[in-house]
Amino acid sequence: MLTHFIGGTRVAGGSAFPVRDPVTGAEIDQVYDADPEVVDRAVRAAREAAPGWAALPVGERAGWLRRLADGIEARFDDLVAAEAADTGKPLEAARTLDIPRSVLNFRTFAEIAAQRPDEAFHLPGALSYTVRRPLGVVAVIVPWNLPFLLMTWKLAPALAAGNTVVVKPSEYTPCSAALFAEICEEVELPPGVVNVIFGSGPAGQLLVEHPSVDGVTFTGSTRTGQTIMRTVADRVRPVSFELGGKNAGVVFADCDLGRAIDGTVRSVFTNGGQVCLCTERLYVEQPIFEEFCAVLAGRAQIVEPQPMISAEHRERVLSYYALARSEGAKVLTGGGVPSFGDARDGGYFVEPTVVSGLSEWSRFNREEIFGPVCHVAPFTTESQAVDLANSTEYGLAATVWTSDLDRAHRVAQRLEAGLVWVNTWYLRDLRTPFGGGKLSGTGREGGTRSLDFYSQPTTITIKLEQPDA
């Protein structure tokens, strides 16, 4: 039974619900659903710990981040197993991406925070400088697709900036967060600096509406982000949102076709398409359109299916497969549920799917699906490709495949997305800005921009008296 972690103590509270393995549908654990008393206790614990944590020199806080990174490495195999059990992803994926990246998150932000200089300006007869103070108590609400990676991506800079936190992971993926609570105990992190509560949507709502929460960071659906923004509007609390996407990929005829296919397979089907940066709309220049579609469909047929996170999400993805057919799509491959003849038939799998033939204004091409599926359409000119890629209410990520360097720069700068990759996908430096526009979110995190969100500047100007002549 997974219990909340509040003020350095295990806390049972709220009703219990099951955690299920997406691969088989079997129950693997149970977890408490935080009630109002639990949420209030967690926020109060964070509030009580806030002054002491904020008062530590930044170098000492950076030292705690390094200890947490060491603690993650010491529990590496346990975290790999927990992340795979929660999400249904292959062990190798958790071993090579999720857990190593989480270690890097803590170490990177420890260095950035420790080395960041303050600003100072010498004015005629005065000195003006800035100091930064933490927001206070930050609510960290984590999605289910990359739960440990994204939790640490938010925790590390929040802690480095001097905040205390209350973390709520998704109800579908609580196990790695529970292990992180153990790591906090093992490294003897001061009680109340990190608090972990479990629960479903209502628990998250209780957390963000708590009057002692000073800021909210959230990754998840646009609809939930809109609800959070309305909730904190009256108190004018800062929010950082990385929300949904309907990401475009643009493939020019002069591309390295093999490289473009390989990259597109990754950008469409990684993690079962359950990554906010995955590509759902593909635009391919007319001379290579037929060949590209045929090769991509063939590659999709040999992609190892990964389960959707839940039975409900599988039904949602399947409803879009049905919608595509009803809107007149040509299904190039997939569109159903795979059969394994073993325990996986009780899991939440769908077939990797490629479709074409739909209007840009179809619901299938307008709404985020968040599954292993893409729509492929042809284009004839560069300007048309850019217009098609930008014809969405979302603005998170895009990819461009071309061997023309001038075109690469030209097109990338015209795409309305927070991140644009050229001849690659999912390659990131943690110091660069991360986030999107339109319905894909607000604000940027990454590098010093994360520290900017999790702290507020105060400008101090001191008049310098001139000595008597």
3-state secondary structure of 281: strand
Which structural domains are found in the chain, ordered by start? 4-243+440-459 (3.40.605.10), 247-422 (3.40.309.10)
Q: How many CB atoms lie within 10 A of CB 336?
A: 12
* CA proximity to 392, closest of 248, 235, 263: 248
Q: What is the DSSP letter of 189?
A: P
Average pLDDT value over all residues in the chain: 96
Predicted confidence (pLDDT) at residue 275 exceeds the cutoff of 70: yes
Spatial neighbors of 372 by CB under 8 A, at least 6 apart, are 268, 269, 272, 273, 300, 303, 305, 306, 334, 350, 351, 352, 353
Cα–Cα dist 98/277, whole Å:
15
Can you say how many angstroms the Cα of residue 394 is from the centroid of all Cα atoms in its chain?
Answer: 15
* CA proximity to 275, closest of 372, 200, 351, 366: 372
* CA proximity to 308, closest of 334, 273, 264: 273
171 is an active site residue? no
Q: Which residue has the tokens 């991509």?
A: 296
Instruction: Label residues 70-83 b or e (16+ Cβ within 10 Å = b).
Output: ebbeebeebbbbbb
Q: Which residue has the tokens 């526009």?
A: 437
Would you say 306 and 334 are in contact if contact means Cβ atoms under 8 Å apart? Answer: no
- Please give the average per-residue pLDDT across 173-188, as a whole number: 98
- Please give the average per-residue pLDDT across 34-50, as a whole number: 98
Residues of the chain with pLDDT > 70: what percent? 100
184 is an active site residue? no
Can you say how many angstroms the Cα of residue 389 is from the centroid of all Cα atoms in its chain?
Answer: 22
Residues 361-397 have pLDDT tens digits of: 999 999 999 999 999 999 999 999 999 999 999 999 9
* CA proximity to 169, closest of 215, 219, 212: 219
- Please give the average per-residue pLDDT across 112-134, as a whole number: 93
Sign of CA dihedral 231, 141, 173, 314: positive
pLDDT at position 466: 79
- Please give the average per-residue pLDDT across 301-324, as a whole number: 97
CA-to-CA separations, 349 to 311, 326, 377, 390, 449, in angstroms, rounded: 9, 22, 26, 31, 38
pLDDT at position 469: 60
Query: What number of CA atoms fall less than 13 Å from residue 193's CA on the CB side?
Result: 26
pLDDT at position 117: 87
Predicted confidence (pLDDT) at residue 335 exceeds the cutoff of 70: yes
Would you say 24 and 346 are in contact if contact means Cβ atoms under 8 Å apart? Answer: yes
Predicted confidence (pLDDT) at residue 108 exceeds the cutoff of 80: yes
pLDDT at position 118: 86
Query: Which one is catalytic: 83, 242, 280, 416?
Result: 242
Residues 236-264 have pLDDT tens digits of: 999 999 999 999 999 999 999 999 999 99
pTM to 2 decimal places: 0.95
Predicted confidence (pLDDT) at residue 467 exceeds the cutoff of 80: no
